[in-house]
Amino acid sequence: MTDLETRTAGRPGALRRAAPALLGYAAVRALGLLALALWSAARDKSAYTLLTARWDSLWYTRVAELGYGYEVRLPNGDVHSNLAFFPLLPWLERLGAAVSPLSYADAGFVVSLIASLAAAWGIFAVAEHVYGRRAAACAVLLWAVLPVGVVQSMAYSESLFTALAAWSLYAVLTGRWVTAGLLAALAGLTRPVGLAVAAAVWAAAVVVFARGRNDGGPEGALGDGARRVLGMALAPLGAAGYVLWVGHRTGKGPLGYLDVQAGWRNGFDGGAAFARFVGDKFTSFPAALAGVALVAGVALLLWLYVVCVRQRQPLPLLVYTGVVVTLALCASSYFGSKPRLLLPAFPLLLPLALALARLRTSRSALVVSGAAAASAVYGAFWLNGSGPP
């Protein structure tokens, strides 16, 4: 990419092009929050508490307030340590509480709302770069209407991670290697799956080096190569730094973080535990329906990834998506959380966005409206359930 192309890609008009999609995204999320408020009120629950002060959000606010070291010992001997939660979201919650009258939970909610808009814009930027403006708008709206889209508005780290991942991928696609590396490092401080962003940066950089590309003469080639190397060096620092720090704090060396995750009965087993979980659903008739739905859902994910490959998505997107999906499906615990763990895998939506973009505007609006209503109802039902999302 030339310097002129780089400057053009980052011009202020980018926000104006994305504005309609972002307004549509905000409208979908507002509908979801309205449905949650009404459903929660009917059940005498607080929608705001469900969004900011339950499940993982409580662990993040405890890290923000008390730092690391808090743990819960369960009767069966398991140890749930807050070291399992990466630090960027708690740091931002602490910053928000320090510079405003907001509580840690309030700050987490604000961070998630802002990050969700940044993520939507990042998704638009990536999709527009690859497939054009209309498909980009459809991709943003499809991400908004996902059944578990309500998580985008919770004080969780999914929105923050997706924003950092999307903009890092965009930086890779537009040749901003240092920016890509910095954003990948921040993504690695947000969630363990930050590995996927670093892998995408590395894969893209290695391919460019292997092809011997350059953006100009010898001096331009040397400068661009140095920036790629620096981006590659920066990309894994966030995740690696935190994992090594946890290992040092626990006294268990570089693999200490895996021991922390084991205390939560979470790990990577190649999908064996998830396969058993799905298989167990077929032991009775009512549960078998859920089993069929799970099998269909996994098949849909794999089919969409194959379509992404066939449509020749850029290598960074394929590597990123492949790692996110693999880590989500092959984790050995918290099977009910897998849908939200897949939220950052937005490139899977691009084939659907392309198909939606080919429809007449009235038809695509009807599809999105119906999906938005279904997502709002499902999100309200889901968060008012007994288990964590």
Q: What is the pLDDT of residues 346-387, one digit of tens each?
A: 999 999 999 999 999 999 999 999 999 999 999 999 999 887
Q: What pLDDT shows up at residue 2?
A: 35
3-state secondary structure the chain: CCHHHHHHHCCCHHHHHHHHHHHHHHHHHHHHHHHHHHHHHHCCCCHHHHHHCCCHHHHHHHHHHHCCCCEEECCCCCEEEHHHCCCHHHHHHHHHHHHCCCCHHHHHHHHHHHHHHHHHHHHHHHHHHHHCHHHHHHHHHHHHCCCCHHHHHCCCCHHHHHHHHHHHHHHHHCCCHHHHHHHHHHHHCCCCCHHHHHHHHHHHHHHHHHHCCCCCCHHHHHHHHHHHHHHHHHCCHHHHHHHHHHHHHHCCHHHHHHHHHHHCCCCECCCHHHHHHHHHHHHCHHHHHHHHHHHHHHHHHHHHHHHHHHCCCCHHHHHHHHHHHHHHHHECCCHHHHHHHCCCCHHHHHHHHHHHHCCCHHHHHHHHHHHHHHHHHHHHHHHCCCCCC
Closest CA to 141 of 327, 355, 378, 381: 355
The band of 287, judged by pLDDT with boundaries at 50, 70 and 90, is confident
The band of 1, judged by pLDDT with boundaries at 50, 70 and 90, is very low
Give the count of domains, the chain.
Answer: 1
Residue 122 has pLDDT above 60, yes or no: yes
- Asked if residue 330 is part of any domain, the answer here is no
- Asked if residue 199 is part of any domain, the answer here is yes
The band of 12, judged by pLDDT with boundaries at 50, 70 and 90, is low
Q: What pLDDT shows up at residue 146?
A: 97
Give the pLDDT mean for 245-269: 92
- Asked if residue 202 is part of any domain, the answer here is yes
- Asked if residue 327 is part of any domain, the answer here is no
- Asked if residue 11 is part of any domain, the answer here is no
Give the pLDDT mean for 140-161: 97
Residue 333 has pLDDT above 80, yes or no: no
- Asked if residue 207 is part of any domain, the answer here is yes
How far, CA to CA in Å, does 104 sit from each of 61, 255, 370?
Answer: 6, 30, 35
- Asked if residue 237 is part of any domain, the answer here is yes
Could you tell me the residue range of the domain that residue 204 belongs to?
20-268+360-383
pTM as predicted: 0.94
Q: What pLDDT shows up at residue 211?
A: 85
- Percent of the chain whose pLDDT exceeds 70: 94
- Asked if residue 77 is part of any domain, the answer here is yes
Mean pLDDT (the chain, rounded): 92
Residue 172 has pLDDT above 80, yes or no: yes
